Amino acid sequence: MTELQPIILSLELAAVTTAVLFVAAIPLAYLLAENNFKLKPVVSAVISMPLVLPPSVIGFYLLVAFSPAHFFGGIIEKAFNIRLVFSFQGLVLSSVIYSLPFMVNPIQAGLESLPHSIKEASYTLGKSKFKTLLKVLLPNIKPSLLTGIVLSFAHTIGEFGIVLMIGGNIPGKTRVASLAIYDEVESLNYHSANIYALTLFVLTFLILLTVYFINGKYLKAGRL
């Protein structure tokens, strides 16, 4: 069971992170898709920075921000009695920040691809913006929603740099599968490293295969 702990922890981290991202990314993606405000390029750039920045850079600044000795980390610990560094909660928050573009960008692209006539028809029928988003727009971008969910989940499972800097590689607490692979390779225990690596490889492949298969079915249905 001890050998499975890193895999189970990785799945838990990916599931919680994806759920938080899904709730947080929809209003953010809607804001970016529906509005052209002056700071939109700045907001879009900030969201997309994890795509190009090394994990060590983001991890360092998050480590500083999450530290109880600094403002944000100190406020969280005093208000909620949660220490973000070297904790699962810290891993979740850092993973949400680092995987944000993988959820926001597909949903934003999906919303921007919809014809304006769909929204106008909904407004004409008396539906509010919230109901239009919830009952009209989101059901029409299911492939984009699925893509965001799958990419966020898969990206979180495979993350190494962020979880190492924030989590500290504590067995049973923050030692996820990617860190377990690193530890086993350093110990020259290639058999165990191969088990962890192969498990992640198969999981990621099956997840991506599922999203391509489902999106392919949606595209065929749309042509019909």
Amino acid 44: pLDDT:
93
Q: State the pLDDT confidence band at 141, using cuts at 50, 70 and 90.
A: very high
Whether 25 shows a pLDDT value over 90: the answer reads yes
Amino acid 218: pLDDT:
57
Average pLDDT over residues 162-187: 90
Average pLDDT over residues 202-217: 80
Helices (H), 35-115: 40-48, 55-66, 71-80, 88-113
Q: What is the per-residue pLDDT across 212-221, written as a single tens digit (0 to 9) for each?
A: 777 666 556 5
Range of the domain at 217: 2-223
Closest CA to 102 of 177, 176, 49: 49
Amino acid 221: pLDDT:
56
Count of structural domains within the chain = 1
Supply the CATH number for residue 154's domain: 1.10.3720.10
Average pLDDT over residues 185-209: 89
State the Rg of the chain over Cα: 20
Average pLDDT, the chain: 89
Q: State the pLDDT confidence band at 43, using cuts at 50, 70 and 90.
A: very high
Q: Is the pTM of this model over 0.85?
A: yes
Q: What is the per-residue pLDDT across 55-113, written as a single tens digit (0 to 9) for each?
A: 889 999 999 999 988 889 999 998 888 889 999 999 999 999 999 999 999 999 999 99
C-alpha dihedral sign at 33, 39, 41, 45: negative
DSSP states of 58-80 as a string? HHHHHHHHHSTTSHHHHHHHHHH
What letter would DSSP give residue 171? T
Tell me the residue ranges of DSSP E strands in the chain: none
CA 70, 86, 195 angle in degrees (round to 5)?
Answer: 150
Closest CA to 92 of 129, 66, 74: 66
| Residue positions counted in the chain | 224
Whether 161 shows a pLDDT value over 70: the answer reads yes
Q: Which amino acid is at 215?
A: N
Task: Enter the tokens of residue 223.
Answer: 């042509």
Q: State the pLDDT confidence band at 223, using cuts at 50, 70 and 90.
A: very low
> What whole-number percentage of the chain has pLDDT above 90?
52
Amino acid 11: pLDDT:
92
Intra-chain end-to-end CA distance of the chain, in Å: 49
Q: Which residue has the higher pLDDT, 26 or 116?
A: 26
Distances (CA, A) of 192 to 130, 161, 179, 187: 49, 20, 12, 10
Pick from 32-36, 46-50, 170-174 the range whose average pLDDT is largest.
46-50
Whether 2 shows a pLDDT value over 70: the answer reads no
